[in-house]
Amino acid sequence: VSLDVQLVLLLWGTLVGLDLVSVPQMMIARPIVAGTVAGLILGDLNTGLRLGVVLELFQLDVLPVGAARYPEYGPATVAAVSAAHLSAGGLGVGLGAVVGLFIGMLGGVSLHLLRRLNARAVHAAAPRLELGDTGALIRLHAASIARDGTRAALVTATGLALAWGTRVLGATLTPRGLTVLAAAAAGAALAAGTIGTLRLVGRGPGLRWFAVGLGGGVLAAWLR
Amino acid sequence: MTRRRRRRFGTSLLRLFTVQGSWNYERMMGVGVGVAEEPLLRDLPGGVDGEAYRAAVARGTRFFNAHPYLAGLAVGAAARAEHEGVPPAQIERLRTALSGPLGSFGDRLVWAGWLPLLSALALAGVALGAGWMAVAGFLVLYNLGHVLLRSWALRAGWRHGARVAVALQTPVLQRASRLVGPAMAVASGFAFPLLARYLGEPLAPPGRIILAAVTGAGLLLLWWRPGHLTGVRLGLGVVAAALVAAWLWP
């Protein structure tokens, strides 16, 4: 993968990281979107879609309410697709998931640190804010967004570096080992996505609707 | 509405897309709300150099939290209340009173409804072979609802002012809130069997057995230890174990 492509991935990961909380929350941060576009950038749409699906399932386990702390899967998915593409393509889904889950955790920690840094900046600017100083308000807000952009770029860069290093790991695994890893990652993703969804659906009438959909899905999968 | 006020509404709406840009543990999205409200306060008596403007800007930046897409309701309502000369203490109470309902209603409507519904449809679309078109469809449909909701919230907040609570009783919104839950449940149920097939397809038969076993065991573990075991922890544990297995039995 050329340096140009790595830079485009870094830019995409940064935009994806900004989208999650800061601006504009249009859901390019969802793994299914981040992964598909990363796959297109790498010229490997299939791997992008597959890892997008795996990490989207993990994302379904996350409900981003209030001050909750959660993994950040957007930049992680970009790194995951890069890792899978560099390692073994279609069979590299498991290796991609290893990178994606680890960077997802790291992204979550970085978001917590960012919020603490923002709180410190707000605390320092509080006297000017209480005077209704518009300049101070806009500067504070813009600096916070810039801080988030820097954070997202750092997380993506770490992920892309890890993806590069994962090639070595991939070379030590046989095709059978890669299959085991891919199957395990997909299984964990299906379990996490199902439980996350059932938590939203609840035990009331929603569960009956879920069962109706499940029946239709089984039929559609069988007919395909 | 005058042309100048329309322009300020536009600026306020654009700024609402960054409402969580300075999210922090001290004022949560308060600073972002202040930034979005500021253009609507510029024509308060005395203009941008006036005491009323400065006091209103200061109030706008204080603690606030809600669903980001519905924050516009609070922005519009507080700005309108400032223009109507509502006492400052009452405006503060209005913001406090809006925080909870806007948070819970938005979470239910968007985070637990609209978003997982479209995510499930996109996942099912990919599993059925629609590829990037399913993803593009997700982005377009989701953002249609997203932009409409943000825009409606700001306008409704301004229209109702201090009586903004009635805006949440809008029939369309209530109906959407009732329908989106069951729709999400059906779509999600439909997607999972297709996804299991999609993820299992490229694997050899032993790989499919591992996939089924890990899914079953993962479901049991996550069901048994809610709050202790999260999806990401399960995932990391499982892939670490799989890596070790892959090295030991190549």
Cβ contact, residue pair A63, B124, below 8 Å:
no
The band of B168, judged by pLDDT with boundaries at 50, 70 and 90, is confident
pTM over 0.90: yes
Model confidence pLDDT, tens digit, residues B12-43: 999 999 999 999 999 999 999 999 999 999 99
pLDDT tens-digit readout, A95-137:
999 999 999 999 999 999 999 999 999 999 999 999 999 999 9
Mean pLDDT, residues B150-165 taken together: 93
Which residues in chain A have Cβ-Cβ distances shorter than 8 Å to B56? 132
Q: Which residue has the higher pLDDT, B2 or A49?
A: A49
Give the C-alpha separation, A216 to B66, whole Å. 36
**Interface contact flag, A179 B212, Cβ < 8 Å:** no
CA distance B147 to B142: 9
Q: Which residue in B has a C-alpha nearest to residue A21's C-alpha?
A: B20
Residues 6 or more apart from B31 whose CB is under 8 A from it? A122, A129, A137, A140, A141, A144, B22, B24, B61
d(CA B201, CA B208): 8
Which residues have CB under 8 Å from B68's CB, separation 6+? A25, B19, B20, B29, B106
User: How high is the pLDDT of residue A204?
Assistant: 87
The secondary structure of B128-153 as a DSSP string is TT-THHHHHHHHHHHHHHHHHHHHHH
pLDDT band at B64 (very low <50, low <70, confident <90, very high): very high
Instruction: Answer yes or no: is pLDDT of B242 > 90.
Output: yes
Among the partner-chain residues A27, A33, A105, the one whose CB lies closest to the CB of B232 is A105
What distance in Å separates the CA atoms of residue A173 and residue B244, rounded to the nearest whole number?
A: 10
Closest by Cβ to B250, choosing from A116, A176, A220:
A176
Tell me the C-alpha distance between B139 and B18, whole Å: 19
Count the neighbouring beta carbons within 10 Å of the beta carbon of residue B6: 10
B5 or B212: whose pLDDT is higher? B212
pLDDT class for A169, splitting at 50, 70, 90? Answer: confident
Spatial distance between the Cα atoms of B129 and A50, rounded to a whole number of angstroms: 11
Model confidence at A1, pLDDT cuts 50, 70, 90, reads: confident
Kindly tell me if the per-residue pLDDT of A163 is higher than 90.
Answer: yes
> Quick one: average pLDDT of B242-250?
85
B123 and A50 within 8 Å at the Cβ level: the answer is no
Contact B160, B98 (CB under 8 A): no
pLDDT of residue B3: 83
Three-class DSSP category at A25: coil
Which pLDDT score, from 0 to 100, does residue A172 have?
Answer: 84
Q: Is B203 close to A179, i.e. CB distance below 8 A? A: yes
**B contact residues 44-103, partner A, Cβ 8 Å cutoff:** 48, 53-58, 61, 65, 68-69, 103
For residue B250, pLDDT over 80 is answered with no
- Which residue in chain B has the smallest CA separation from A58? B231
Q: What is the pLDDT of residues A14-29, one digit of tens each?
A: 999 999 999 999 999 9
ipTM (interface predicted TM): 0.95
Q: How far apart, in whole angstroms, are the C-alpha atoms of residue A75 and residue A70? A: 14
Give the tens place of pLDDT for each residue, B95-152: 999 999 999 999 999 999 999 999 999 999 999 999 999 999 999 999 999 999 999 9
DSSP-assigned letters across all residues of B67-125: -GGGHHHHHHHHHHHHHTT--HHHHHHHHHHHHHHHHHHHIIIIIIIIHHHHHHHHHHH
Q: How many CB atoms lie within 10 A of CB A56?
A: 26
pLDDT tens-digit profile of B188-239? 999 999 999 999 999 999 999 999 999 999 999 998 877 788 999 999 999 9
**How confident is residue B5, by pLDDT bands cut at 50, 70 and 90?**
confident
Closest listed residue to residue A62, CA positions, set A205, A201, A195, A202: A195
Q: Determine the pLDDT at residue A90.
A: 59
Q: Which residue of B has its CA nearest to A214?
A: B189
